[in-house]
């Protein structure tokens, strides 16, 4: 039973793409009172990957005849330079892997191929990427290179809230990322912006509890960061995972779809591992790219529009013929709205 009332909508952003999908799948999104408005945020790593980075991967694969190792969600993301799927249609090797360590195994089994693993994701997947780097070094695998395109969530949240254009009353913070980085890291950012946030898990009960706690904070104007997922998330995160990340990666500036360039919001290999860095080994010129005409994926990532506000949604752009990555990715907001009937409930 919801215990609040309001004359105007309370606007809550679920940062994590998994939350977006689970709020639809469990039906919780449709059971909320009409004065609670949910907004999807930049919590899908494929969706926030900038076109220029994927274009660079495609250029490198073509110019240097590389075997591209990637997660399945990246395959159909389109750029002006094509997609990884179009590379396949050209006869080039693009292999799907299910973890970074799988990339090490593939390279070891195919020593005659120069392999490039496209390492994407937030802090959640960075420890496993670090393990893959560690194994590549220990096994002396000389034919595997890493295109590191990881994103760091706290700087992106700071940039998002600093735009001054965001009409948001509170944040549902991601459980998976927070399991690595902890609760405390959000405090200085959210407090500076006067924004309450609640970390929660992914079951219906987890999310209901998290939303209730967040509504309490919003109604009482309390800019706190609460942890409603203490069985998984610690104050300062997972020390072993953070140690692995810090050993092999360092922060760098990164381009985000919708948010632009954000200092220290990405990761790159530390200088001592440059021999494994695909961008060092296979340099290409910086590509000039433009988003697909009419696609509003960048605005969806920002939370300034709902997917149904995009003129391509559900007509030109469908999961079978996706124009933007928000419809391609299993964590994308457009994919969630399309799959679970968001169009019928707005």
Residue 162 makes CB contacts below 8 A (sequence gap 6+) with: 193
Least confident segment among 103-107, 136-140, 143-147, 325-329: 325-329
Q: Do the strands 36-40 and 67-70 form a parallel or antiparallel pair, or are they unpaired?
A: unpaired
Q: What's the rounded Cα separation, in Å, for the pair 285 and 289? A: 12
* Joined tokens for residue 156: 């992106």
Q: What's the rounded Cα separation, in Å, for the pair 26 and 46? A: 23
Q: What's the rounded Cα separation, in Å, for the pair 49 and 183? A: 25
Q: What's the rounded Cα separation, in Å, for the pair 178 and 250? A: 19
Average pLDDT of the residues in 313-331:
90
C-beta separation of 211 from 203 below 8 A: no
In this prediction, residue 345 carries a pLDDT of 38
pLDDT digits (tens, 9 = 90+) for 13-32: 999 999 999 999 999 999 99
Average pLDDT of the residues in 98-105:
96
pLDDT digits (tens, 9 = 90+) for 245-256: 999 999 999 999
Residue ranges of domains in the chain: 1-296, 297-345
Structure pTM? Answer: 0.91
Q: Topology of domain 1-296, per CATH?
A: Rossmann fold (3.40.50)
- Residues paired with residue 97 on neighbouring β-strands, in sequence order: none
| pLDDT confidence band for 343 (50 / 70 / 90) | low
Q: What's the rounded Cα separation, in Å, for the pair 66 and 94? A: 9
pLDDT(3) > 80: no
Q: What's the rounded Cα separation, in Å, for the pair 243 and 237? A: 11
Q: What's the rounded Cα separation, in Å, for the pair 325 and 78? A: 8
CA 194 to chain centre: 24
C-beta separation of 278 from 116 below 8 A: yes
In this prediction, residue 2 carries a pLDDT of 41
Q: What's the rounded Cα separation, in Å, for the pair 346 and 342? A: 6
CA proximity to 39, closest of 212, 175, 167, 152: 167
pLDDT digits (tens, 9 = 90+) for 204-226: 999 999 999 999 999 999 999 99
Q: What's the rounded Cα separation, in Å, for the pair 105 and 150? A: 21
pLDDT(117) > 90: yes
In this prediction, residue 222 carries a pLDDT of 94
For the chain, give the percent of residues with pLDDT over 70. Answer: 96
Residue 220 makes CB contacts below 8 A (sequence gap 6+) with: none
């Amino acid at each position: 039973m919801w215990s609040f009332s309001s004359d105007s909508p309370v606007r809550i952003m679920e940062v994590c793409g998994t939350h977006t999908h689970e709020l639809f799948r469990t039906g919780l999104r449709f059971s909320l009172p009409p004065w609670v408005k949910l907004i999807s945020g930049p919590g899908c790593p494929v969706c926030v990957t900038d076109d220029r980075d994927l274009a660079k991967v495609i250029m490198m694969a073509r110019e240097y005849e590389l075997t591209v190792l990637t997660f399945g969600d990246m395959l159909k993301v389109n750029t002006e330079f094509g997609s990884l799927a179009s590379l396949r249609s050209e006869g080039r090797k693009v292999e799907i892997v299910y973890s970074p360590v799988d990339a090490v195994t593939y390279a070891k089994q195919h020593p005659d191929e120069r392999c490039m693993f496209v390492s994407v994701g937030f802090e959640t997947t960075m420890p496993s990427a670090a393990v893959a780097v560690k194994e590549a070094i220990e096994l002396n695998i000389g034919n595997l290179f890493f295109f590191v395109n990881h994103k760091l969530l706290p700087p992106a949240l700071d940039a998002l809230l600093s735009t001054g254009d965001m009409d948001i009353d509170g944040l549902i913070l991601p459980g998976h990322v927070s399991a690595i980085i902890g609760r405390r890291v959000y405090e200085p950012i959210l407090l500076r912006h006067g924004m309450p946030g609640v970390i929660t898990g992914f079951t219906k009960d987890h999310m209901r509890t998290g939303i209730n706690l967040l509504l309490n904070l919003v109604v009482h104007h309390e800019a706190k960061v609460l942890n409603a997922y203490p069985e998984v998330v610690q104050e300062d995160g997972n020390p072993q995972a953070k140690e692995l990340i810090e050993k092999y990666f360092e922060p760098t500036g990164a381009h985000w779809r919708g948010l632009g360039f954000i200092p220290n919001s990405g990761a790159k290999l530390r200088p001592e591992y440059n021999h494994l860095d695909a961008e060092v080994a296979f340099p290409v010129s910086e590509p000039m790219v433009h988003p697909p005409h009419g696609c509003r994926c960048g605005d969806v990532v920002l939370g300034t529009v709902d997917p149904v506000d995009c003129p391509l949604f559900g007509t030109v752009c469908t999961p079978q013929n996706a124009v933007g990555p928000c419809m391609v990715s299993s964590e994308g907001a457009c994919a969630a709205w399309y799959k679970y009937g968001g169009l019928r409930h707005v």
